């Protein structure tokens, strides 16, 4: 596989998005394998000859990491991507250590081990990090500021999902009582429910606490959306260029910019499709070449946003453009899952077009754009 300037990683709901090209093949004097845990980290220290000099557990706190860095200045540290890897890797780099954050999807030797343990994982990370860092498929976390901006998007998404769950629970409760509510917009569900249930005050009183929660969530979601719009306009103006595509709004454009990070990370814009997991996996051996689903590598949230944008583009309100024309033509071919394949293909092309607009600072021409 051709090495990209910055290659991608899988998504764990975190902000790991960029890959670090590690060209150093020199075996370091000290290599540390660090298996991150919620309360404690397993540590395995190897010397230049590959001998284990120390194995221990340290607490998951900044003070312990400071002591580790002081004991082994300039050491190479290998860890898996996870909940604590963003801030841990940034701190250790600030303390002068060489940090490799491994792509967990690529470490089959760890996640499929028959004798898996924190100590064994730390040992394996140290061995691989010492011998050939490229086998870790190392990634580089975004900076703390961009991580916080991206978390605003994901917190809003979490609130929206919780709101849907509450509405579903209310509908189920009412159906069990022989009552049905119309299907208004999600944002006006509480208001409409109060109007319809005015004739049933005892039922309304029962679900009123849930309706009040919906009211509060509605305001919080609106507040987050206002903040996201402000970020797009003031802090990330490049998102305005991506929003020229009908169906790409502030949420998708901002998530794309924050997740990709650097517009020059890909030598070819089309590489972003594979980085986001929107291309088929491959399992070829001899004459056998299986047809598989998409790889689903990269950031799951951004991939979901792009798929939603593609569904809108191919729907009844989609803009008449080359992307829509090609997508509908693919869907009309028929066959198993034709519509689903058309949506995924359109999502991939959307990502390519967005990357092209960003890299070339171009204007979007719906009828001439190629993907």
Model confidence at 4, pLDDT cuts 50, 70, 90, reads very low
CA distance 269 to 276: 12
CA distance 200 to 7: 58
Per-residue pLDDT, 360:
93
Cβ atoms 97, 77 nearer than 8 A: yes
CA distance 181 to 342: 34
Per-residue pLDDT, 265:
86
Query: Average pLDDT of 128-152?
Result: 89
Per-residue pLDDT, 243:
96
Cβ atoms 228, 239 nearer than 8 A: no
Query: Average pLDDT of 267-278?
Result: 92
CA distance 299 to 18: 11
CA distance 199 to 157: 34
**Average pLDDT taken over every residue of the chain:** 88
Tokens (6 digits) for 17 = 């998005």
CA distance 36 to 205: 48
User: Rg of the chain over CA atoms, in angstroms?
Assistant: 24
CA distance 277 to 255: 16
Q: Helix, strand, coil shares of the chain as percentages rounded to 5?
A: 55, 15, 35
Give me the count of residues in the chain.
Answer: 371
Tokens (6 digits) for 23 = 């060209």
This prediction has a pTM of 0.80
Query: Average pLDDT of 214-232?
Result: 96
Q: Which residue has the higher pLDDT, 228 or 9?
A: 228
Per-residue pLDDT, 136:
86
Per-residue pLDDT, 368:
67
List, in order, residues 6 or more apart from 196 with CB less than 8 Å away: 181, 182
Query: Average pLDDT of 355-365?
Result: 93
Cβ atoms 5, 21 nearer than 8 A: yes
Q: What proportion of the chain, given as a percentage, has pLDDT over 90?
A: 69
Is a pLDDT exceeding 60 seen at residue 12? no
| pLDDT tens string 40-84 | 999 999 999 999 999 999 999 999 999 999 999 999 999 999 999
Strands 288-294 and 98-102: what pairing? unpaired
Cβ atoms 254, 232 nearer than 8 A: yes
Per-residue pLDDT, 73:
96
* Cα pseudo-dihedral 228, 230, 233, 235, rounded to 10: -90
Segments in the chain forming alpha helices (H): 62-71, 85-94, 108-111, 118-131, 144-176, 189-196, 201-230, 238-242, 250-260, 271-275, 300-314, 322-332, 338-360
Per-residue pLDDT, 139:
83
Cβ atoms 155, 221 nearer than 8 A: no
Q: Which of 21-35, 293-307, 319-333, 353-367 has the least mean pLDDT?
A: 21-35
| pLDDT tens string 164-179 | 999 999 999 999 999 9
Q: What proportion of the chain, given as a percentage, has pLDDT over 70?
A: 90
Model confidence at 110, pLDDT cuts 50, 70, 90, reads low
Cβ atoms 255, 305 nearer than 8 A: yes
Tokens (6 digits) for 371 = 């993907």
Closest CA to 154 of 311, 302, 348, 354: 302
Strands 31-35 and 76-80: what pairing? parallel
CA angle 256, 313, 228 (to 5 degrees): 35
* Cα pseudo-dihedral 244, 249, 252, 253, rounded to 10: 40
CA distance 59 to 101: 19
Per-residue pLDDT, 8:
39
């Amino acid at each position: 596989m051709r090495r990209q300037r910055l290659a991608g990683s899988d998504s764990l709901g975190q902000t790991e998005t960029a890959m670090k090209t590690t060209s150093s093949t020199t075996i370091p004097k000290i290599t540390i394998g660090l298996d991150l845990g919620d309360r404690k980290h397993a540590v395995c220290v190897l010397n230049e000859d590959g001998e284990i000099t120390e194995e221990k557990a340290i607490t998951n706190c900044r003070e312990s990491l400071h002591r580790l860095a002081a004991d082994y200045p300039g050491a190479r540290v290998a860890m898996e991507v996870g909940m604590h890897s963003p801030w841990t890797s940034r701190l250790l780099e600030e303390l002068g250590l060489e940090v490799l954050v491994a792509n967990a999807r690529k470490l089959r030797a760890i996640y499929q081990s028959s004798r898996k343990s924190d100590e064994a994982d730390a040992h394996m990370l140290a061995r691989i990090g010492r011998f050939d860092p490229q086998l870790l498929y190392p990634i580089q976390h975004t900076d703390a500021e961009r991580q916080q901006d991206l978390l605003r998007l994901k917190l809003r998404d979490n609130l929206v999902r919780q709101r849907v769950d509450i509405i579903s629970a209310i509908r189920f409760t009412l159906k069990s009582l022989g009552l049905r509510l119309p299907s208004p917009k999600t944002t006006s569900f509480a208001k409409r429910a109060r109007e319809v249930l005015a004739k049933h005050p005892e039922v309304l009183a029962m679900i009123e606490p849930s309706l009040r929660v919906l009211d509060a969530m509605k305001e919080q979601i609106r507040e987050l959306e206002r903040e996201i719009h402000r970020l797009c306009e003031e802090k990330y103006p490049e998102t305005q260029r991506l929003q020229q595509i009908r169906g790409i709004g502030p949420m998708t454009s901002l998530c794309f910019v924050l997740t990709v990070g650097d517009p020059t990370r890909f030598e070819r814009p089309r590489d972003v499709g594979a980085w986001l997991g929107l291309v088929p996996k491959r399992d070829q051996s001899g004459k056998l070449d299986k047809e598989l689903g998409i790889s689903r590598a990269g950031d799951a949230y951004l991939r979901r946003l792009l798929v939603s944008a593609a569904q809108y583009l191919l729907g009844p309100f989609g803009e008449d453009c080359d992307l829509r024309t090609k997508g509908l033509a693919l869907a009309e071919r028929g066959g198993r899952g034709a519509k689903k394949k058309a949506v995924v293909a359109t999502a991939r092309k959307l990502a390519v077009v967005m990357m092209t607009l960003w890299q070339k600072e171009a204007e979007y021409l719906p009828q001439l754009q190629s993907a």
